[in-house]
Structure 1
Amino acid sequence: MLKSVVIIFATATLSCASLACYGDSYASLQLGFHDYEETVSGTSPMLFDSSLTSLYGRLGKQYNENFSAEVRLGVGLGDDVYEQDGLDTGLKLSLRDIYGVYLRGGMQVTEKLYPYVIFGYTQATLELGDDSFDFHEDFGGVSYGVGVDLELKPELYTSIEYIHYFDTVGTELSAFSVGLTKSF
């Protein structure tokens, strides 16, 4: 896991350096609090759920006052109990990695407040297991959400966001996140 974090931050640093040449760019470090739900159909549908945490970087380019595009790359932090209908299954679920591309549309409401909507595509790898085995699978899909950037001082913002990452074959992932964003 440490190796993944180092690779992500090295990539983010190099990408930031290349984006800085073009102006109107931004980089962010976010902490995400994810809700995972999986519904298994049958005569009596079963609901599996878990709460996961991630750390990810965002790199973006502001094309005009109302439109930007960005990429995100992150890793999960730890694992959580995998529950079936509220009961512990004895298994642990973790978010190995998450990445995607997004378009943001927003409007400067006040000098310090920039609400936005976001739309894009996300891919994530989830791992399920216990001490004797583990199984991982990739999921992905259309993502959408809302957020707000609040200016702390010129070119430094705090970001608050809710995003529904995907709903694929009965598997849903959504998250509330907070972070710091630096524009350059």
Structure 2
Amino acid sequence: MKRLLALAPIALVSMSAHAGHGMFSLQYSALSYTDEWSGQELNPDAAVVRAGHLPTEHVGIEGRLGIGLRDETVGAAEVGLSHLLGVYGQARAPFDPVTPYFVAGLTRAQAEFSDPGGSMTEADSGFSFGVGVDIVPDDLGLNLEYMQYLDETGYEFEAFSAGLVVIW
């Protein structure tokens, strides 16, 4: 599955040369990691690149790659996103120039934890879903989105994102 997730953005962009439209987006993501046992919420942030293909105006497929930009400090410890990878499908409802969408798919995320005693990484994968809107008057526009990347036993990992989107 790791190889599929790593190759998905390249495959999706190359598919755009055939039919439909290609899509590329760069987002700033305000992340939220909530530990359900302690109730503690951590808020690192990330940059997320989305690349995909829109075979019709109502359907899209995309791959994502995200990297952490800023860690959250809790006492002497730091927590942050190392990276996330994902493959998703979109159901789109175009109302030119505004296109709301629902997105769902699979995400693999890896977090980094460090304190004066050392560091470790932890990875998890699972089902993801979200809603967003592309506002694209021409080929370049804005994107706003909420994603529930992982909702696993003991924690939730979600993001509110804003960015630029190009559709060609």
For the superposition of Structure 1 and Structure 2, which TM-score range results when normalised by the shorter chain?
0.7 to 0.9
Name the SS for the 2:40 alignment partner.
strand
The answer for unaligned runs of 5 or more in structure 1 is 1-7, 41-45, 83-88
Q: Which AA in structure 2 matches 1:63?
A: P
- Of 136, 145, 151, which aligns to 1:161? 145
1:30–1:177 contact (8 Å) kept in structure 2: yes
Q: Deviation string for 1:87-137 (max 9, x for gaps)?
A: xx421101000110111101112x211001111111100111113311110
Please give the alpha-carbon distance, in whole angstroms, between the structure 2 residues aligned to 1:36 and 1:167. 10
Query: Which residue matches 1:4?
Result: none
Q: Secondary structure at the match of 1:18?
A: helix
Question: Helix, strand or coil for the counterpart of 1:108?
Answer: coil
TM-superposed deviation, 1:60: 0.6
Q: Which position in structure 1 is the counterpart of 2:60?
A: 68
Structure 1 position 125 matched with structure 2 position 110 = yes
Identity among equivalent pairs (%): 29
Say whether the 8 Å CA contact 2:12–2:51 is kept in structure 1.
yes
Distance (whole Å) between structure 2 residues aligned to residue 30 and residue 16 of structure 1: 18
Q: What is the RMSD computed on CA atoms of the aligned residues?
A: 2.0
Relative to structure 1, the CA distance from residue 134 to residue 176 in structure 2 (aligned partners, 3 Å threshold; closer, same or farther) is same
1:18-167 to structure 2, matched below 5 A, reads 18-19=14-15, 21-22=17-18, 24-40=21-37, 46-82=38-74, 89-109=75-95, 111-151=96-136, 153-167=137-151
Distance, in Å, in 2 between the alignment partners of 1:16 and 1:179 is: 20
Determine the C-alpha separation between the residues in 1 that align with 2:162 and 2:109: 19
- In structure 2, the partner of 1:85 is none
Answer whether contact 1:33 1:53 (CA < 8 A) is retained. Answer: yes
Q: If the length of structure 1 is used for normalisation, what is the TM-score?
A: 0.80
TM-score by length of 2: 0.87
Whose radius of gyration is greater, 1 or 2?
1
Which structure 2 residue ranges, 5 or more long, are not aligned? 1-5
C-alpha displacement at 1:16, in angstroms? 8.1
- Residue 81 of structure 1: how far off its partner (Å): 2.1
